[in-house]
Structures are given as structure tokens and as C-alpha cells.
Amino acid sequence: MWSRTIKNKSWLWLTVVLTAGPIVLGIGYAFAYSFGLTGLLNDGFTIEHWQKTITYTPFWKSLFFSFVIAILTVFIACSLALGIALRFRHIWKQHQALLYLPLTIPSIVMAFFVFQLLSKAGFLSRLLNRIGITSGIEGFPDLVNDNYGLGILFAHICMATPFFSILFLQVYQNERIQLFNQLSATLGASKMDRLRKVVLPIILQKSFPAIILYFIFSFGSYEIPLLLGSQSPQMISVFTIQKLQRYNLADIPIAYVSCIIYSIFIAAIVILSSRLLMYQQMKKG
Amino acid sequence: MKRSISISIIGFIAFFPILLLAFLSLSEQWMFPNILPDRLASGPWKLLLTGKSELLYSLLLSVGISLLVAVVVTIFSFFASRQIAYSPIGKKILWLTYFPYVFAPVLLGAILQYYFIRYGMSGKISGVLLGQFFITFPYGIIFFISFWNARIRSFEDLVSTLGGNPFQKYKQVLFPIARPAISLVFFQTFLISWFDYGLTMLIGIGQVQTLPIKVFQYVNSANMNHAAAASLLLILPPVILLWINKKYVLTRWQM
């Protein structure tokens, strides 16, 4: 029976074909297009598209903007989630549905909700107008489709905070942080010392892979910046898809080059973070 | 006292998006600066229930696509993950399943769009199904891989030693033990497919109108009450899953 299982590798090959296959084909086509080997306007090998993209300021702006949004999302959501998790750790079992409910909202619905909440004629603007803080639509600031990505950031934080809160609460419980906390208190550690040297390091270390995954998710987010973003700067997914779908065929190679650079960037983050994780585990022995 | 106030605030924040969308879906007119709708009407819901709305088609299409993706991916990833777990080169192949995460689904759609056009699958349901299969199949394998541990392997050996054939092994031992993992993978892949916008938009080129595509179309055409109704329909299955079992909703993010 065993030997038959090991000999029969059809599922293994199918897995290789269905997981790596699309990526290899897609990246291969993107490389070929970006080097002028295929595509309508291309007529032979050239590095012109790469030169053009690498010196194209809006591309780097998009990459940097996506990076900043992803970093701020993770930082602010983790800070809020830590506050929620530590404050409600004793009673969260009775109220956990409140934290799970926002996880049922997909990105596109969250984007639509934030638009209805924060736009100039949105719910918040109406509320502030009613209580006299602002006067009319013009009195309300631009919080969506703005140049700073405030609406995008707010929507991402709304999605990330409940997730990190649940994650941190589970880590707090599973890693028995309460016991370490009590032990430190018995040994004379102050409240701040216990938070800085016991609670935070354990929670953040155990949640590190999920934090990195969420960073990657926010970095490549599409629906939220599509609905809440402005024309400049754009997040990298929106920038790429716009270049791909424009009537100007000369923009298509830029889209493929940006896809490749984006994937190299994400792959570097994944490799670096997994190395960091392995190093930490080795250090712990 | 302070804590119950905090809980009430968190509760309000958690329910507020659903409340606002519900009001919006029922509002016929909601002019600025009014806090509540000027006129309430059951517009999109009435059309949906009487079968006259495009939303009903999108709802049924989304249910069909997501169910099919979930069933196929659950079956494929169950058997594939078993071979990966038991293979000497399994770890290397498991590493490959993380490949699709290097790309956001929409960018994966962008680099694959050429092949879908070339093989006549662009703008077709079959193309969307295949595209969604590419992003959900690796999820399925990663979820299932931890199921195939030493304990399951010893069960398999025991069945073989006692003379059980492969059919009996699956029917009477493996499937019953794997039921929680199978239902988890099924619901997770259903949700990934159900929520997908970017890949469906690129490969379906607006012709495969699933619910997320419909939400965006309604928003673009400023048809806000229909967009809100479509949004609520999108939230409905995960809320039901949350009610059945919380882990069906959370695990997608925790891989």
C-alpha cells in the first residue's frame, strides 16, 4: 500500500503544475513583454521599457505609497489591537462575536462603507453638520479620494484591528502570558516593565508571521484604493492595472515591469522575514 | 461601569457598518444634511424577491461559482496534500504552494490575462473558475497539510494491516476523522472565491457579474441603495458561517 502511494506521484506533479505553473507562465510572459520579445508594439529585444519604468517617478511613488500605507496599517492596527486585547482579556469570551463580526466584511464592502461614512456628503459629515461643528458639505475635509490616502488607511485599519485583536487575545491565552505576568509582578517588575519586557515581546514574536502576511495583503490591496484612492499617488495594484488597461499600448510594458518589481519586493520581504524567524528560533535553541 | 461602556462602544462600532448599509439599501432618497433617509422603500429587496433584479442573477452566479470552486479545491487539495505530506520531496513542493502569495490576486490575473485571452477563456465563467482555482488550491493544500500527521499515518497502516482496502480506508477511517478539516477548507475556499473582485474583474472582463463586481458597478453608477443591498448579500454567507462556527471565518487570515 505504502509503496503504491510513494510510486504514484500524479497528485504531486499536478500540485507543481497548478501552483508554480501559472506563476512561471505569468512571470515568463511579463518578462518577455517587458524585454520587447512579445506584444503588439514590440519588435525585438530591448531594455527600453525597464529603463523607462525605473526612471518613471509615478511608479516609485506608487510603490512607496503602498509601502507606507501597509506599514501604517499594520502599526496602527496592531497598537489598537494590543490596547483592546489587554483591556478586554478577562471578558472577551462573552463578547467575542463583536470582534468576529467585522471579519465578515470583504474589502469592497468595507471600501463602500468607508466611502458612505467619510465622503463630503457622508454620514460623519451630516452628523458634524447637525451638531454645528462643520457648515455644509464644503466645511467637511477631504477624507476619501484624498492625496494622503486617509480613507484607504482608515478602511485598512477597520479591517485589520479586529483580526489582530482576536489574534493577540488567542496568543495571550495560548502562551499563558497571564502566568508570566503574575510571576514578573511577584518578582517586583513594574506594570510598564511587565508590558515592555514580558507581554509585548511574547505577543509580537508569536504573531510575527501573521503580521507579515497582513503587511503583504495591505501592500497589494486593490479594491479599497480603487474606490477610496486618488489619481496620484496610486497604490501599486491600482497603478499596474490602470497601465495595463489603458488605451495607450505603450503603457502595457510598464505594467509588466511593475508586476515583476512588485513580486521581487514581496519575495524579498518573505525571505527576509522567514530568515529572521528561523534565526530567532535558532537563538532560542 | 467603564468597561461596559467600552464594550457598548465596540459593539456599536462592530454593528454600525451593517446598520448603515441596511438603511442605505432601504432609502429611496437620502439628501444632505439629513441624518436619516428622507423616504424609506424596499426597492432593491422587492426587485430581488420578485426575481426582477439583476442582483438575483449575480447572487445565484456567485453561489454557483463559489460552491464549485470550494468543492473541486477541497477534493483536489485533500488528495494532493496527502501525497505531499508523505513524499520525501514534499517540503520542497509545499514551498511552491506559497508562490501565488507573492502576487496579489489582481496582479496574478494581470500576468495571466494573456493566456486566458489566447485560450478563449476571457470573459467566461470557465475562465473565472480556473483563475479562482489557482488562488484557492494552494490555500487548500496549506490548510490540509497539518492534518496528515504521524497519528493519521499510523491509522492508515493499521487499516492496511487489518486487510482494509483503499476504499474502506477513506470511507470508514480517513473521511470521518478529516471531517472538521474538510469543512474548514470547504468554507474557507468558498469565502475566498465569494469575496474575490480583482481576479474576476480581470479575467471575467465585466461579463461574469458576480456580487463583488455588481457592488462596484452600482457604486460607479451612483446606484447606492442597490450597492448597499448587494453589499449586504455579500456579507450574509460569512455571517451565517460565523454563527455556525467562528473558526470558519478567522482561519483564512491566520494561515
Question: Is the per-residue pLDDT at A1 higher than 50?
Answer: no
Look at the block and give the residue holding cell 467575542.
Answer: A96
Q: A194 vs chain B: nearest CA distance in angstroms? A: 22
B97-133 burial: b if 16+ Cβ within 10 Å, else e: bbbbbbbbbbbbbbbbbbbbeeeebbebbebbbbbbb
Q: A197 vs chain B: nearest CA distance in angstroms? A: 25
Give the residue numbers spanning the domain of A170.
57-284
What string of DSSP letters covers A107-129?
HHHHHHHHHHHHSTTSHHHHHHH
| CATH class label, B50-253 | mainly alpha
Looking at residue A103, the DSSP 8-state letter turns out to be: G
Contact at 8 Å (CB) between A163 and B253? yes
Contact list, B100 vs chain A (CB under 8 Å)? 19, 22-23
Q: Which residues, other chains included, contact A232 with Cβ-Cβ below 8 Å and sequence gap of 6+?
A: A58, A61, A147
Vertex B153: Cα angle to B148 and B159 (nearest 5): 130
The answer to the question of residue A12 being in a domain is: no
Per-residue confidence (pLDDT) for residue B62, from 0 to 100:
96
Strand pairing category for B27-29 and B39-40? antiparallel
- Give the A window 7-66 contacts with B, CB below 8 Å: 8-9, 11-12, 14-16, 18-20, 22-23, 25-27, 29-30
Looking at residue B66, the DSSP 8-state letter turns out to be: H
Q: Is B61 within 8 Å of chain A by CB?
A: no
Contact at 8 Å (CB) between B69 and B129? yes
The answer to the question of residue A139 being in a domain is: yes
10 Å Cβ neighbour count for A258? 27
The tens place of each residue's pLDDT in chain B, 255 residues long, gives 677 788 888 888 889 999 999 999 998 888 888 998 888 887 778 887 777 778 899 999 999 999 999 999 999 999 999 999 999 888 888 888 887 777 788 999 999 999 999 999 999 999 999 999 999 999 999 889 989 999 999 999 999 999 999 999 999 999 999 998 999 899 989 999 999 999 999 999 989 999 999 999 999 999 999 999 999 999 999 898 888 876 666 655 554
pTM above 0.80, yes or no: yes
SS3 A35: coil
The answer to the question of residue A33 being in a domain is: no
Q: What is the distance between the alpha carbons of residues A268 and A24, in angstroms, rounded to a whole number?
A: 17
How many structural domains are present in chain A?
1
Q: B151 vs chain A: nearest CA distance in angstroms? A: 15
When pLDDT is averaged across residues A265-280 and rounded to a whole number, the result is 88
Per-residue confidence (pLDDT) for residue A3, from 0 to 100:
44
Inter-chain touch B215–A244, beta carbons under 8 Å: no
Per-residue confidence (pLDDT) for residue B51, from 0 to 100:
75
Supply the CATH number for residue A277's domain.
1.10.3720.10
Structure confidence by residue, pLDDT tens digits, A65-101: 999 999 999 999 999 999 999 988 877 777 778 888 8
Q: What is the distance between the alpha carbons of residues B58 and A124, in angstroms, rounded to a whole number?
A: 31
Contact list, B219 vs chain A (CB under 8 Å)? 112, 115, 227
Inter-chain touch A220–B32, beta carbons under 8 Å: no
The answer to the question of residue A267 being in a domain is: yes
Domain locations in chain B as residue ranges: 1-41, 50-253
10 Å Cβ neighbour count for A107? 22
Residue in B6, B111, B223 to test binding to A, most A beta-carbons within 10 Å:
B111
When pLDDT is averaged across residues A35-58 and rounded to a whole number, the result is 91
What grid cell was written down for A223? Answer: 479594491
Residue in A34, A86, A101, A272 to test binding to B, most B beta-carbons within 10 Å:
A101
Tell me, what amino acid is at A123? F
Residue in A11, A74, A246 to test binding to B, most B beta-carbons within 10 Å:
A11
Inter-chain touch B24–A116, beta carbons under 8 Å: yes
The answer to the question of residue A34 being in a domain is: no
Per-residue confidence (pLDDT) for residue B59, from 0 to 100:
93
